[in-house]
Amino acid sequence: MSKNIKMEIWKKAVINCAINPVGAITGMKNGELIKNEYTAKIMALVVSECIEVAEKEGIAFDEDIFKKTEKIAELTSENENSMLQDIKKRKKTEIEFLNGKVTKIAESHGLKSPYNRTLYFLIKSMEKRYRKDLY
């Protein structure tokens, strides 16, 4: 896979790792997430952590990923992200393939990923609460 394709996949993953679980946990629409100082800070920490992991995978981003995350949240400000929708519908979320995957990759490089891990655990606990069939 070319580096550019890998970088684009990582960009999308990082943005989703920051927006989706934070929105799902708080119940906020995308635009609210960046206007609230607390959720914006959590998102910035998640993005920073993801960038560190991506760099260990040989990815060098060609733009400011947090600014890109903010822009996406602004462009979709009235949207409830897919993870929030899944939580509301009591469906399995994509957390395993987002923050869960970043956490596993981080571990493979000897890195800690406390923000991604915490979001992963929180979403998994929400899923477990309503999806007994998953556990």
Query: What crossing angle do the helices spanning 3-26 and 65-75 adopt, rounded to 10°?
Result: 60
Q: What distances in angstroms separate CA 52 from CA 37, 99, 105, 124, one per listed residue?
A: 23, 13, 11, 24
Residue 26 DSSP SS3? helix
132 given a catalytic annotation: no
Catalytic residue among 12, 88, 112, 128: 12
Catalytic residues: 12
